[in-house]
Amino acid sequence: MENLEINSGHEMFDVPIVNFNADTGDCIIEGESYLEKTAEFYDRLLAWLNQYMSEVNGAINIRFRLTYFNTSSSKRILHIMLRLKQYVDSGSKVEARWHYNPNDIEMEEAVEDFMSIAKLDIQLMPDSSMKFNPFSK
């Protein structure tokens, strides 16, 4: 199975950087997410996770380092979390962490909403080195 890497670069601020490693199960989504084709973008991530879950069936360590996401992105992120919860319920191991600026109360509340809806345990990781976006969801 191949890794999934999406490096949006500095010219595309609306697309998050993605690094999903098939060998280690380490998955990172970082940056900002307010892209035009949200479903197409996040469906690729979900497809990779589904393939990993069926072929590799290993532990997943997913880290979110998003400083902003729009409503359509939040719906797709929730789909990922719901799928991860199904994976946990099947007996597999998932460790989820969400890094955020401690001053970004709205981001913290959004992650708490994700946890409540998906029933997925997500470690909230206050990180003062993270950019604070006063316009976060």
Mean pLDDT (10-residue bins), the chain, 137 residues? 84 83 97 91 97 97 96 96 98 98 94 97 94 61
Burial of 134 (0-12, 13-18, 19+ CB in 10 A): exposed
CATH assignment at residue 94: 3.30.750
Domain that residue 29 falls in:
4-126
- Residue 94 carries which DSSP code? E
| Secondary structure letter of residue 76 according to DSSP | H
> For residue 137, is it within any domain?
no
pLDDT at 137: 46
Identify the CA nearest to 122 among candidates 51, 38, 74, 61.
61
pTM for the complete prediction?
A: 0.91
If one counts the domains in the chain, the total is 1
Which among 134, 22, 25, 33 has a CA at the least distance from the CA of 84?
Answer: 25
